[in-house]
Amino acid sequence: MNRRFRRPQASTTVAAGILVLLIGLGAIRFEHFASFGNLANLVGDYAFVGVAAVGATFVILSGGVDLSVGSLVAFTAVAIAVLVDHGWHPLAAATAAFGFGTLAGAVIGMLVWWFDLPPFLMTLIAMFAFRAGGFLLSSQATPIMHPFMAQLSSGYQVSVGGTIIPARSLIFLAFAGAGALTLARTRFGRQVCAVGGSRRSAAVMGVGVGPTLVGIYSLAGAASALAGVVFAFGKQAGDPTAAGGLELTVIAAVVIGGTLLSGGVGSVLGTGLGVLILGAIRLLIDFQGDLNPAWTSIATGLLLLGFVLLQKLLGRLRGPAASPST
């Protein structure tokens, strides 16, 4: 009996299957689609989505939602560009932006805790504030010009057997790994699941719900800020209009990866797969060439809807856990 291996959830298996199916479809239709370089690029292009989605996984696991992801990514990128423009070293700017994102997340977490307002509302307000804040820093896209960036663009990748892997995809993988470890193997991670499973029971069981919430939103803010760093260094620019609608992409990735929107159940591994599925769909639409890119957002929405319905259906089949009623 091998009980040490925690069973992967059925939905993670489904997500993995869909990813293989999509790549297979691409490989059949298009030459070079399933090439190593192309797939490595896919991971790289969606690295910032993935990093943000890892943070959003924790929020959704706790039964909340974070709508501020896209605008915080844009804000961070702009902030870095502007700081570099003022003579900062890009790494110092990135660190400052990262710190800001973490702090902003902590504030959101505290407001959610103290005022007991719905997370979607608090993060919706944050979404507007960050977006406008980006414009306040710079009304236009600002290039990041610094000798370090030139250094970065030559050294910002790793070569494996002659194929170039962008370093940002490694950041994504490392961050996802750290996230998975945090979720499964730290007290904090278990508390996140407990709060999402039943806030009341968690409190009775001695979980500090408030500090856990602050931790969750800080982590989400940090993830979005890191995503912004990855984004800015990738584009070598900060654009206040960037990453619009990213919040839905991220939520979709999390849900497709098997995390329940009602909270309590989910995995970071699944989220990673969800991100890659959305990336593969985007890639397929790009390869097709004659398809309107608007299909990406529609496909994302439909996929999200499909998986939410699937979760509902599975939940109903399994039946509600019997509760003693009076």
Q: Which of residues 215-254 bind other proteins (CB under 8 A)?
A: 240, 245, 248, 251
- For residues 320 and 271, give the distance between their C-alpha atoms in angstroms, rounded to a whole number: 25
Main-chain phi, psi angles of 294, to 5 degrees = -60, -25
Q: Is 185 in the site for other proteins (CB under 8 A)?
A: yes
Chain centroid to Cα 323, Å, comes to 35
Q: Looking only at residues 15 through 54 of this chain, which bind other proteins when binding is defined by CB under 8 A?
A: none
**Contact at 8 Å (CB) between 209 and 202?**
yes
Least spacing, CB of residue 66 vs other proteins, in Å: 12
Least spacing, CB of residue 13 vs other proteins, in Å: 16
Q: Is 135 in the site for other proteins (CB under 8 A)?
A: yes
Q: Which stretch binds other proteins (CB under 8 A): 11-19, 25-33, 85-93, 135-143?
A: 135-143
**Contact at 8 Å (CB) between 215 and 188?**
yes
- For residues 180 and 161, give the distance between their C-alpha atoms in angstroms, rounded to a whole number: 28
- For residues 124 and 133, give the distance between their C-alpha atoms in angstroms, rounded to a whole number: 14
Give which of 57, 82, 90, 136 is closest to 234, Cα–Cα. Answer: 90
Q: Looking only at residues 56 through 95 of this chain, which bind other proteins when binding is defined by CB under 8 A?
A: 65, 67
Q: Which stretch binds other proteins (CB under 8 A): 28-36, 89-97, 126-134, 224-232?
A: 126-134
Distances (CA, A) of 130 to 83, 133, 197, 242: 16, 5, 30, 12
Residue 152 neighbours by CB distance under 10 Å: 18
Q: Is 110 in the site for other proteins (CB under 8 A)?
A: no
Q: Is 7 in the site for other proteins (CB under 8 A)?
A: yes
Q: Looking only at residues 138 through 177 of this chain, which bind other proteins when binding is defined by CB under 8 A?
A: 139
Least spacing, CB of residue 325 vs other proteins, in Å: 7
Least spacing, CB of residue 82 vs other proteins, in Å: 14
If the CB atoms of residues 43 and 243 are measured against other proteins, the closer one turns out to be 243
Main-chain phi, psi angles of 162, to 5 degrees = 90, -15
Q: Looking only at residues 297 through 326 of this chain, which bind other proteins when binding is defined by CB under 8 A?
A: 297-298, 300-302, 304-305, 308-309, 312, 318, 321-326
If the CB atoms of residues 139 and 153 are measured against other proteins, the closer one turns out to be 139
